[in-house]
A and B are shown apart, each in its own frame.
Chain A
Amino acid sequence: MYAEDPAFWRAGAISSTLVMLIVLAFLTVDSLATIRPGGTNVPHYTVINKEIRYEFDSEANRYRPVIGADQPLFGRVYSPEEAEKAMRLGKLVIQSRNCMNCHTFFGNGAYYAPDLTKAWLDPAWQQLWMPMTQAASREEAIATFLMYRRNSLRGAGRCPTFGSRAKKPRRWWRISNGWRRWRPTASRFISATSRPTIR
């Protein structure tokens, strides 16, 4: 009988492996074309100059990010080169500060802290943090939040400050003195987060 001969199974193992590897190679070529910056599934880095909304798509029956009109980041339009440079720096921040060993990206990481994939699209920035920090834009609210996250959200105190390695700690501390003055107001917002009425 064939089945009793190891060589029969060896041939099966080799052929199934080769077939799968060839299929994977084709799929990889196809997938990489769609996920390169500017491909069908991933916008070019200059998307940072655009407004990005998160809207319900009734046809797909789920929420989708929608790229809208121009909306410069910190009031500035980035050229393609500058945008790529900014993205590169952001990626290096994520890697050098070991973000993925607490947070997740695309659901991949460490699950100890919130997923950051669509943190930019989170409704909390507009509904909670912009009024709370009295920031004019979402990016300013995020910057303020990141500087004072330990004071601003229960659980956010888990995030290390990386303070000893911050380039200009003195300036940070000066701003943090300003924080103390309006913290009583902020704490009312914090307790409000646990109420289900606030979305």
Chain B
Amino acid sequence: MYRSQHLALKYFTAAMILFGLMIVAGLLASTSYVLDGFLLNKLDFSVTKMLHIDTMIIWLLMGFIGSVYWFVPIEFERETVGIRLAEVLFWIFCAAVAVVAAVFIFVQYGRSTEMSLWFINQGRKYVEAPRWAAIGITLVVVVFIYNVVGTAIKARRITGIMGVLMVDLIPLFGLYLIAFPSMTNMSEDQYWWWWLVHLWVEATWEILIGCIMALALMQLLGASRRVVETWLYIEVGLVLGTGILGLGHHYFWIGTPSYWLGIGGFFSALEPLPLLGMVVHAIYDAGAHRMKTTNRPAFFWVLAEAFGNFIGGGVFGFMMTLPQINLFTHGTQWTVSHGHFAFWGAYACGVLAVIYLALQKSRSAQQLDGAAWKWSFALLNIGILGMVGALLVSGIAQAFYERAMGGSTLQAYMQGQTNVWFVQGIVMRLVFGLVFAAGYVVLMYDLLTTGKKRVTAEVLQPRVAGGPA
């Protein structure tokens, strides 16, 4: 194994720890919904919710970075350039995350000065990390780019997938610079903020996970490079062809000109297409190889990624994206439902698949299988589907009673919040959150133990799905 791959495992470990913290923060935040005044003025909803979304962003980012450090030496058949610097930066990254989390938990709020934005909290949703930490994240991304591009130059070769990946690292870095300014005018502030959030999550990250999944499919199923690359280009063309102007669905109600209603609605209606393409691709590859694999957990997480991305991101996103519908659904629990499903399906499942792939290789296991991964797979997916469904019920009640009937006044808001369907959905979200947390515990057990016991090939032969029994 290359040093780059050992670093990848470190990133995966950190990602899984943050994944756990994300769940804890999410459970606390959802309890605040159920019990009025829960931890008020100690660990407010704003703090737990902020920790929930920020740890999510960071663990997924760590998962992506880890995945790329895993695949780079395989693609270029040499050690990653500048690996020592990357190793040092990993620890700085972890320390910075710990400091920011400690400040969020113990300091929480600052005074109304620029100093608060530099050292405590930027308070811009997703862009909460204080500016000094944002500089740190930028630094990590710069070194990451240096590692990937430097390795390609040293190896004097490039593959199609790595080419797409390298080009994609430019917006990954460039868009993050939007995290720094804070404009007084809310319309301008949100205009640029959405460049960061939308063009990261619905464009840059989609391409990044597309590359990672392409590499994973080749390692997992031995899919042909030519087919995988063709699919990747089609996906890139569709993701960026629809997603860049799909940005318009965030410009419906922030004061921007009304042509965004048409542009945003049209292009976001097309946004599910590339995600459907990924589903077709995954099924095609699975079928072409008769679902034969030595790593069933990774294989099923890849499938979960394809379907989760399409249904959670594509279908659930499209459901509320047309301006006529979005007028009533934006800013309700409906959005939360879509957000949970999309991030889980599009990104979390993909990262978990790569982690299983990496574990198989690092533990030299001929075969990964067993009962634990199935339990964790079932519990996590049932947990997320339950949360998504419950939040959708709450969101529909809110859109109907608060927005459509009540006219979005404070009075209507209060009526929406006390509506029985809304309350039931909020309670069920907590219940399924606990199911999800149970799935996480089993997942951690499986990740720590899987593939450690040597098993002989004869015993495993009949258990290969679709293989000769």
- Cα distance A165–B191 in the bound complex, in angstroms: 31
A23's closest neighbor in chain B, by CB? Answer: B245
Among A74-82, A100-108, A131-139, A176-184, the stretch that binds chain B is A100-108
Interface centre among A91, A118, A119, A199 (most CB of B within 10 A): A91
Q: Is A160 on the interface with B (CB-CB < 8 A)? A: yes
With a cutoff of 8 Å between Cβ atoms, the chain B residues found around residue A64 in the complex are none
With a cutoff of 8 Å between Cβ atoms, the chain B residues found around residue A119 in the complex are 410
B186's closest neighbor in chain A, by CB? Answer: A105
- Selected contact of B257 from candidates A41, A123, A153, CB within 8 Å: A41
Tally the A-B contacts, defined by beta carbons under 8 Å: 213
Report the interface size for chain B: residues with CB under 8 A from the other chain.
Answer: 76
Q: Is A175 on the interface with B (CB-CB < 8 A)? A: no
Q: Is B185 on the interface with A (CB-CB < 8 A)? A: yes
B51's closest neighbor in chain A, by CB? Answer: A101
Q: Is the CB–CB distance between B233 and A9 below 8 Å? A: yes
With a cutoff of 8 Å between Cβ atoms, the chain A residues found around residue B116 in the complex are 92, 95-96
Q: Is the CB–CB distance between A95 and B123 below 8 Å? A: yes
Residues of chain A in range 87-135 having any CB-CB distance to chain B below 8 Å: 87-89, 91-102, 104-112, 114-115, 118-119, 122-124
A13-B240, A95-B182, A100-B125 known; A105 and B234 CB under 8 Å? no
Interface centre among A94, A108, A110, A161 (most CB of B within 10 A): A108
Q: Is the CB–CB distance between B40 and A158 below 8 Å? A: yes
Q: Is the interface of B mostly helix, strand, loop or mixed?
A: helix
- Selected contact of A24 from candidates B36, B44, B245, CB within 8 Å: B245
With a cutoff of 8 Å between Cβ atoms, the chain A residues found around residue B233 in the complex are 6, 9-10, 12-13
- Cα distance A157–B32 in the bound complex, in angstroms: 12
Q: Is the CB–CB distance between B236 and A13 below 8 Å? A: yes
Q: Is B226 on the interface with A (CB-CB < 8 A)? A: yes
- Cα distance A23–B247 in the bound complex, in angstroms: 12
- Closest CB-CB distance, A88 to chain B, in whole Å? 5
Q: Is A30 on the interface with B (CB-CB < 8 A)? A: yes
Sorted from nearest, which 6 A-B pairs have the closest CB atoms? A107-B331, A9-B233, A95-B123, A13-B237, A16-B241, A101-B46
Q: Is the CB–CB distance between A124 and B411 below 8 Å? A: yes
Q: Is the CB–CB distance between A109 and B125 below 8 Å? A: yes
- Selected contact of A114 from candidates B250, B253, B413, CB within 8 Å: B413
- Cα distance A182–B117 in the bound complex, in angstroms: 39
